[in-house]
Chains A and B, each alone.
Chain A
Amino acid sequence: MPEDLNWAIGGEAGDGIDSTGKIFAQALSRAGRHVFTSKDFASRIRGGYTAYKVRTSVDRVESVVDRLDILIALTERTIHENEDELHEDSVIIYDGERSTMQDVEVPHGATALEVPLKRLAEDAGGAIMLNVVALGAACEVTSFPIENLDESLQKRFGDKGEAIVENNKQAARMGQEYVQEEYDQSFDYSMETTDADYVLLNGDEAIGMGAIAAGCRFYSGYPITPATDVMEYMTGRVDQYGGKVVQAEDELSAINMALGAARAGARAMTATSGPGIDLMTETFGLVATSETPLVICDVMRSGPSTGMPTKQEQGDLNMTLYGGHGEIPRFVVAPTTVSECFWKTVEAFNLAEKYQTPVFLVSDLAMAVTEQTFSPETFDMDEVEIDRGKVVDEDEIDAWLDEQGRFQAHFPAADGVSPRAFPGTADGAHMTTGLEHDELGRRTEDTDVRIEQVDKRQRKVETAREQENFDYREFGDPDADTLVLSWGSNEGAMREGLELLDEEGYDVRFVSVPYIFPRPDLTDEVAAAEKVIVVECNATGQFADIVEHDVLERVERINKYNGVRFKADELATEVKQTIDSDSGTQEVEAE
């Protein structure tokens, strides 16, 4: 396990928990430390428990663990909520002068640092800065050079004026000095800084950045947790490249607007979460049968129905694979890490245009809200390739006209992919429709033409299987008897889990699958293993079902569906128990 530190600030929604956590995470990142953040938040604007957690190390960190070292508790409840993760070396910073925090009980022999956060903040210029006072105190506890906070404070408060920035810097130092003077002790924590140069971003931001890099110019969406950050990221930024974000009146409108923009030749995307995907489903078939390239992003959250809007789940896999009436050729791509959110988005646009199909880009809440550090080169824009597929211009269009000079937009090509003419192209005018149609896009019920067009659309998938590399990512011991399979954001926790398992003498091969459809053939991998375990954040094992379907063999399952992502140590324990048990499906007990 890396030499890491787990830090959190918790309080009520509206207490500035997020921005304080972000200030600290950015300071760590700028100081050359790796960061992995996670959030506990409730579906309300003010009140209710909320926390921002930061795991940091000089080595890369890919997941959360079941341990908390430094906790800034703005409310008493914050301590209770994290009780299980606290230990005898934990340090809790709280304002002992607050009336509500007079009788705080500190669990597990942790150290309590009473710091008059509010009083010191007032001395520095305003009670509102009490969180920053706490940050300063945390710097002292961890020996983290406080100067590193300054740039983050500048970034956060710069547009409010230099005086505010200075007051905040002062507030931080008052917190630091208070701990220095009042608690004449050294703590076991330290935070080494390095010269490394990192950027800090979350999965939604990576998707938005990937979309702009890939040439997406039109985004329409409707606000929904946890996909809204994609829209907020693109708003304003895509304008600088000639694009536009439109907030539609609902998800039905959002996907249809994006469809219209795509038919006009723009690379277009919409993003939503489960309930929004339900509403968009009507249009999936239209996108596929009109052969319009479209990227539809589903950032999953707990379902069904409104479920738990701010909690993690991977429950929409079947929805994206099978949603919509009739048979819909489509691609389903599911990034497995925050950086893959960027690259898979780029790839999604290429797949959409090369094969003129809907591409479902499936992410989840755990990735969406996780900020992680990366070397900037991780997102090397020179590596971004754009493939627009069979777009024909005025010079090439003759080849695709029938004997009467009509453009065959749905020509049943051998590879299943027809030519595309953007509106405005001379001689390219053509009809397309959600009705079954002939090669000219004209409605038909001719039995032969129906079969020809259905087969043609399905051939795209076969062509893609031949031309694309729908591969998996592999970790651990390639010759191990135990094979763990997962998809989506579980990769980080499982990668770290491998190290823990290794320490205890368990050899495990781990395969993380970013392509759900088409997907890599796992028959040989499963056959080579004695035990196959599929790990996913849902109750029924939707991916495990697919694997069983593909390989005609039973697999074991680790399912977590309490709304919280897998933690590395917890997952390692679950895998270990499954290996040791003779049979049966293992389920993580709801917390």
Chain B
Amino acid sequence: MSSDVRFTDFKSDKQPTWCPGCGDFGTMNGMMKALAETGNDPDNTFVVAGIGCSGKIGTYMHSYALHGVHGRALPVGIGVKMANPNLEVMVAGGDGDGYSIGAGHFIHAVRRNVDMSYVVMDNRIYGLTKGQASPTSREDFETGTTPDGPKQPPVNPKALALSAGATFIAQSFSSDAQRHAEIIQQAIEHDGFGFVNVYSPCVTFNDVDTYDYFRDAIVDLDETDHDPNNRDQAKDKILESDKEYMGVLYQNEDSVPFEQREGIDSSMAEIPDGAPEGAMDLVREFY
């Protein structure tokens, strides 16, 4: 890690193909700022992404990165971190990627509490397939595949996380650059699974959950008396489905990451040139 890393060092020379005004620009800038701010550099950072607009993020950033298959970014990130706990691992995804096809992985990643951060760009719609309902779309949100709305309530990812035993739950808004970067930074610094749901508006297909809507609706938890270490308070806030909060909703400061509990403290990349010393003991066990 070098001390003179700037956030632009995490930028690749590839021009994003996101629509002009897309919330993902702000989300990504905040991720890069937070990584630089926490003393990481591209050579010790691994970014994993899934599929969709959010999945492109690894291409526009400069670090070790893998852009995988839809919904499966979290297991990849867990594998990376467990095999080399010295790496800073950040997983990025979208609401479809994380709460629909990858919902199973999400709650299990939360339970496992590996020390990494998970940033979900939540625009409440499928963008790259041109505007279908996502798991966080409103019940009456009309799209090409749901002309009368999905007619089912949106998932509450923060509630899923809390019930699965999350140790860090936050929410941010991509257009509030300063606060967004701070919140991602807190997720990185958290010892365990740092989950951040980011309101990252889709300017092309979602005309309900817009920048204007979020600007009016958002309440910054820093301006309330919310105590993120208080799980009951967090639960109440999270279950208020008509409220849009920004900030750290819940943090368990006693969290011990999974890999630490499992005693993994060094990279698994180093192996001997032949079988490990004393490997004949493995054979003798079968006497």
Interface residues in chain A, defined as those with a beta carbon under 8 Å from any beta carbon in chain B: 29-30, 197-201, 205, 209, 212-215, 217-218, 220, 237, 239, 241-244, 246, 248-250, 252-254, 256-268, 282-283, 286, 290, 376, 379, 381-382, 384-386, 404, 422-435, 441-443
Contact = CB atoms under 8 A, between A and B. Distances in A.
Contacts, number: 215
Report the contact-size class of chain B (Cβ under 8 Å from the partner): 35 or more
Nearest to A198: B287
A244 B286 contact: no
Interface SS, A side: mixed
B79 A242 contact: no
Nearest to A214: B275
Given A213-B279, A248-B75, A432 B67 contact: yes
Interface in B71-107: 72, 74-84, 86-87, 104-105
Nearest to B271: A215
B43 A427 contact: yes
Contacts of B87: 264, 423-424
17 contacts: A209-B282, A237-B282, A239-B263, A242-B268, A244-B268, A249-B108, A253-B72, A257-B79, A260-B48, A263-B64, A290-B66, A384-B275, A404-B13, A423-B87, A424-B64, A429-B42, A443-B67
Given A243-B268, A428-B64, A264 B287 contact: no
A148 to B, nearest CB: 13
A425 B286 CA distance: 40
Contacts of A425: 43
Interface of B: 12-14, 42-46, 48, 56, 58-59, 62-69, 72, 74-84, 86-87, 104-105, 108, 262-264, 266-269, 271-276, 279-280, 282-284, 286-287
Contacts of B274: 381-382, 384-386
Question: Nearest 9 A-B pairs (CB), nearest first?
Answer: A260-B79, A265-B269, A215-B271, A433-B67, A266-B268, A199-B286, A264-B83, A261-B83, A257-B79
Interface SS, B side: mixed
A381 B274 CA distance: 8
B64 to A, nearest CB: 4
Contact of A443 (B59, B79, B273): B59
B83 A217 contact: yes
B75 A256 contact: yes
Contacts of B268: 217-218, 242-244, 261, 264-267
Contact of B269 (A257, A422, A433): A422
A215 B276 contact: yes
A129 to B, nearest CB: 24
Nearest to B280: A381
A327 B284 CA distance: 43
A429 B46 CA distance: 9
B276 A241 contact: yes
